[in-house]
Amino acid sequence: MPNSEAETDAVYARLLQEHARQPLHRGRPATVAAEGHGTNPMCGDEITVFLTERAPDSFGEIWFQAQACALCQASASLMIRQTSPLDPAAALVLANEMAHLERMTPPDQSVDDAWRCIQHVLKTAPRRRRCVELPWIALENALRIPPNLD
Amino acid sequence: MTTAATTLAPSEPQSIDWQAIRRDFPVLDQEVNGHPLIYFDNAATSQKPTVVIDAVRHYYEADNSNVHRGIHELSNRATEGFESARTRIAQFINAAHPDEIIFTRGTTESLNLVAQTWARRELKPGDQILLTEMEHHSNLVPWQILAEQTGAELRFIPVIGDGEGLDLEAAHQLMQGPVKLFAFTHISNTLAVINPAASLCRMARERGIVTIVDAAQSAGHMPLDVQELGCDFLAFSSHKICGPTGQGILYGRLPLLESMPPYQGGGEMISVVEYKTSTWNAPPHKFEAGTPNIAGAIGMGAAIDYLESIGRKPILAHDQALAAQAVDGLKEAIPDIRIFGPKTGRAGVVAFDIPGLHSHDLVTMADRRGLALRGGHHCTMPLHKKLGVSSTARASFYFYNTSEEVDRMVAIIRDLYAKFGG
């Protein structure tokens, strides 16, 4: 059954206030070891993801700069939380999955409120999948830069 | 059933029963997400009146056959319907002859056709292609490809202010250079600017520059007369003037069409075919390889009859009144809204940016209230970049929209801004 107007309003309020307007690690960090870029041809939005380290076993912290919608920024926030405990190889696997949402199995909805909100919006606006994928595409691009072996 | 085609003669805005006309569009009579549909995405595509739907259905139910070379009754009827549409389209834009009308898949294909036939043969390194900063991607990318192929350079007439219009002095200056062709939009799909097409064409003609007018946003919204405009080529799509999708036309002055090489090879476009060589049919058939979109052309002809029964002057006046009402209402509701385009005399398009509320978020929430807007770059990415925004929300109107719908849109956006803005 389609989401009601009130439900969507409530979800959007959460998306904006808790996930998009106060995202983790927004901005360019002092040290950038690698960066990846993503663009959304549907709306012109752009995002750049920065890694503070690029070693075989660590990418340090993920930061991002974006001119993007609430859905995209919430997805970036979710990305930073979900990848922080991972090593580069595992993060790349996850990024690759999330960058192609149409072919992934949705994770457990109880895991993260941002993810629950995102999935709710996608039910009513499935064409906005790319908004969610965008940060993950940028992360995948950053992680595909070979590690510094010095 | 009421249809404008049967009940209306061309008339002044005050004597037109717009509510009756609205009933000609079955798609508008529905609820979306529990609310009456308000369709304000007309710059993307228009809705179709019953007369157009019936014309397409009638063709498939009664006359379906291939055109031109068949000599049986069904083919005669199909050819008559197809060629009669061409004649009515020629009259619609006051072309000198129906042979100046080439059927294409739409504006985009029409512009690509000129780029890859006339322009590809004529342009050489050092020549300039003049465009404007407000072009839709369909009137930009084909010329980028051509520039790459020929070594010609792209030049752009600047947009002034917050999209208020073209810098006409700069246009004049730019035309003093080695410009070979000048392609420009008649009405901007983002800014709602109505460009002074006749004077731009005159300016170009004085310098021997070939002109191409993108009339995608103007053909169904204002009177068009290619002889008065003085353009060499003009393109528009059926689906934006109440006709079927996948159908459009290219107008070209006959001497130019006769001199141009063909666009694609195949059946219909030939005169004589040998194993190693061929000769070409005369225009327009030289540019219509393969079986055309026969139903699309017939539907487009029906759409033109329908629009002519209303009259494009009153349609323009109606569009402009709704746009002015929307601009005033939105400014009053949201003082820090940024509305792009001219301050007066805009076409029926309003693109805007609300600080803190991304266009896609706004459009998604408006959709939950039955309001169909468009969010994004509207295929004018470079223009958006120049204006300092990645995307805008856009409301675009047509003659079946009402003042009450505009009031409802303003109320919805005011409510969304109060809940989610800033």
The answer to whether residue B31 scores a pLDDT higher than 60 is yes
The segment(s) of chain B belonging to CATH 3.40.640.10 are 54-309
pLDDT one-digit tens code per residue, B138-150: 999 999 999 999 9
Residue A7 pLDDT > 90, yes or no?
no
By CB neighbour count within 10 A (0-12 exposed, 13-18 middle, 19+ buried), where does B168 fall? middle
Is the torsion defined by CA of B255, B258, B261, B265 positive or negative? positive
Please, what is the average pLDDT of chain B?
95
pLDDT confidence of B309, banded at 50, 70, 90?
very high
> What is the nearest CA distance from B400 to chain A, expressed in angstroms?
26
Domain boundaries, position A18: 5-143
On whether the CB atoms of residues A81 and B415 are closer than 8 A, the answer is: no
pLDDT at B85 over 70: yes
Chain A residues whose CB is inside 8 A of the B361 CB are 12, 16, 69-71
For chain A, percent of residues with pLDDT exceeding 70 = 92
- On chain A, the residues whose CB falls within 8 A of the CB of B369 are 5
Nearest C-alpha neighbor of A52 from the set A131, A142, A149, A146: A142
Sign of the CA dihedral with B121 first, then B122, B125, and B129 last: negative
pLDDT-derived band at B4 (thresholds 50, 70, 90) equals: very low
Name the segment(s) of chain B with CATH classification 3.90.1150.10: 4-48+312-420
A-B C-beta contacts closer than 8 Å = 60
CB count within 10 Å of CB B343 equals 11
A17 part of contact set with chain B, CB < 8 Å? no
CB atoms within 10 A of CB A97: 15
- Cβ of A69 within 8 Å of Cβ of B420? The answer is no
A108 inside domain: yes
Residue A124, pLDDT score: 86
Burial (CB < 10 A; 0-12, 13-18, 19+), residue B51, is buried
Residues of A in contact with B377 (CB under 8 A): 43-44
Q: What CA–CA distance (Å, rounded) separates B39 from B47? A: 9
Backbone angles phi, psi at B412, to 5 degrees: -65, -45
Chain B residues touching residue A2 (CB < 8 angstroms) = 33
Q: At residue A12, what are phi and psi to the nearest 5 degrees? A: -65, -40
Instruction: Report which secondary-structure segment, H or E, holds A104.
Output: none
Q: How many domains does chain A have?
A: 1
- Pick the range with the lowest mean pLDDT from A117-126, B48-57, B397-406: A117-126
pLDDT at B10 over 80: no
- A8 falls in which pLDDT band (50, 70, 90)? confident
Position A75 pLDDT exceeds 70: yes
Question: Are the Cβ atoms of B367 and A71 closer than 8 angstroms?
Answer: no
Of B109, B163, B103, B145, residue with least CA distance to B378? B163
CB contact under 8 A, A43 and B34: no
Among the partner residues A5, A12, A42, nearest to B361 by beta-carbon distance: A12
Averaged pLDDT for residues B73-100: 97
Q: Bigger pLDDT: B5 or B405?
A: B405
- Residue A48: beta bridge partners? A37, A65
Averaged pLDDT for residues B42-61: 98
Count of other CB atoms within 10 angstroms of residue B66: 16
Chain B partners of A13 at a C-beta cutoff of 8 Å? 419-420
Interface of B with A (CB under 8 A): 33-34, 358-361, 364-365, 367-369, 375-377, 381, 384-385, 390-391, 419-420
- The residue in chain A having the minimum alpha-carbon distance to the alpha carbon of residue B385 is A44
Q: Which residues of B touch A8 (CB under 8 A)?
A: 364-365, 368
Residue B87: the pLDDT is: 98
pLDDT of the residue at A107: 63
In 3-state terms, what secondary structure has residue B264?
A: coil
> Burial of B174 by CB count in 10 Å (0-12 exposed, 13-18 middle, 19+ buried)?
buried
Residue B57 neighbours by CB under 8 Å, 6+ apart: none
Q: Class of B4-48+312-420 per CATH? A: alpha beta
When scoring A43, A120, A128, A133 by the number of chain B Cβ atoms within 10 A, the one with the most, hence best to mutate, is A43
B419: chain A residues, CB-CB within 8 Å: 9, 13
Contact A8 B365 (CB under 8 A): yes
What CATH number should be reported for the domain holding residue A14?
3.90.1010.10
Q: B193-248 pLDDT, tens per residue?
A: 999 999 999 999 999 999 999 999 999 999 999 999 999 999 999 999 999 999 99
Answer yes or no: are the C-beta atoms of A11 and A2 closer than 8 Å: no
Share of chain B above pLDDT 90, in %: 94
Which residues are within 8 A (CB) of A2 and not within 5 positions of it... i.e. 6 or more apart? A123, A124, B33
* Amino acid occupying residue A90: A
pLDDT recorded at residue B186: 98
- B108 Cα to chain A: minimum distance (Å): 18
**pLDDT per position as a tens digit, B319-370:** 999 999 999 999 999 999 999 999 999 999 999 999 989 999 999 999 999 9
Question: Which pLDDT band, with edges at 50, 70 and 90, does A109 fall under?
Answer: low
Interface test with B, best of A1, A3, A5, A127 (most B CBs within 10 A): A5
pTM of the model as a whole: 0.93
User: Quick check: is A112 in a domain?
Assistant: yes
Chain B contacts in chain A segment 111-130 (CB below 8 A)? 121, 124-125, 128
Nearest chain B residue to A125 by CA distance is B364
Active site residue B231: no
Contact assessment for residue A66 and residue A76, using Cβ atoms and an 8 Å cutoff: yes
Prediction ipTM score: 0.88
Contact assignment for A124 to B376 by CB distance below 8 Å: no
Answer whether residue A18 is part of any domain: yes
Cα B103 from Cα B98, distance rounded (Å): 11
Among B354, B358, B392, the residue to mutate for chain A (most A Cβ within 10 A): B358
Domain assignment of residue A127, yes or no:
yes
Comparing A75-79, A133-137, B50-54, B110-114, the range with the smallest average pLDDT is A75-79
The reply to whether residue A44 touches residue B367, judged by beta carbons under 8 angstroms, is no
Question: What's the confidence (pLDDT) of residue A3?
Answer: 66
Of A44, A70, A124, the CB nearest to B368: A124
Quick one: pLDDT at residue A106?
Answer: 65
Q: Residue A136: pLDDT above 50?
A: yes
Q: Is A89 exposed, middle or buried (0-12, 13-18, 19+ CB in 10 A)?
A: exposed
Question: Which numeric CATH code is attached to B54-309?
Answer: 3.40.640.10
User: Per the CB < 8 Å rule, is B420 touching A12?
Assistant: yes
Using the predicted structure, report yes or no on whether residue B114 has a pLDDT greater than 50.
Answer: yes
Cβ B232 vs Cβ B252: under 8 Å = yes
What confidence tens digit (pLDDT) does each residue in B275-288 have?
A: 999 999 999 999 99
pLDDT at B227: 98
- Runs of H (alpha helix) within B291-380: 294-310, 312-333, 359-367
Range name among A115-119, B190-194, B306-310, B358-362 with the lowest pLDDT average: A115-119
Q: How far lies B187's CA from each of B70, B74, B163, B166, B193, in Å?
A: 40, 40, 12, 11, 6
